[in-house]
Structure 1
């Protein structure tokens, strides 16, 4: 609406862009709309993007399902809601198809965040893993490179012969 007031005072679109801190392209587009349809043409049309496919009632139900946890809906291997699982849950409960990225946005909108499950074998024995890390890995790993033998150059080892700038066969005299 500020742009419309400026246009009515015959302020050029480039000046409107500068004053309102918008791109010049936007100001020229607004100017065109204002010329064609007046102030009403510049009225807000609401948020852009697609509408949510779940009603407010369904969103509340979904939040309740999420609170129940994944095990209550058939995912017993771990207790995390992945975006893929949420998309599947929405399809099962509301017969609405959501992409994984759409389910992620919906989760954020509801105050949840998708989780990434830890990929571990069910038969994993934590005690055996700890012993292997502390004993076997220490033996296999080795001592590493001794300190002080590295070069600052990635392409050539440091030279300890001569001074920088010295060339063989050239006298300093």
Structure 2
């Protein structure tokens, strides 16, 4: 990685529905706490992005979001071209070669994705071993996001979109938090 002057990037995807993740909360003694969730209508937010690290540079988080409103014919997640444009954006923002590590998701391993990756000489790809989400530090980003959304009950997909964007933007400006996600995995990413 150092001889290629490359960024080490760990990528993953996640999604969030209108129904909030469960979290602990306070209530009066003897009364269970209730968070009313309307969750009327459909909608989903899909998220994808790599957490990128390079020696002597601050850790970066590059993100893409898709809001699905449940309309007929609307795509429901990231596809090969969406991942390729995300990688192109990361390459442009980081200004260097990328060593990408990601999982064996269907859209990461199919022929269309292999072709798109082959057209990018600045990109080197490695895959995580099967069933090892604890090694992917991008999982820490999504877990932190979902914990911050715990017990919030947005009324519409647009409200949820605003909440998710705000929280992810805060994470982008906290490289110490991103470094914490790296430390949580136990991976040693700095040379001795």
**Is TM > 0.5 for Structure 1 vs Structure 2?**
no
Larger helix fraction of residues = 1
Larger strand fraction of residues = 2
Larger radius of gyration: 1
Task: Specify the TM-score bucket, using the shorter chain as the normaliser.
Answer: under 0.3
**TM-score normalised by length of structure 1:** 0.19
Give the number of the structure with larger relative contact order, counting CA–CA contacts within 8 Å between residues 6 or more apart: 2
**TM-score normalised by length of structure 2:** 0.18
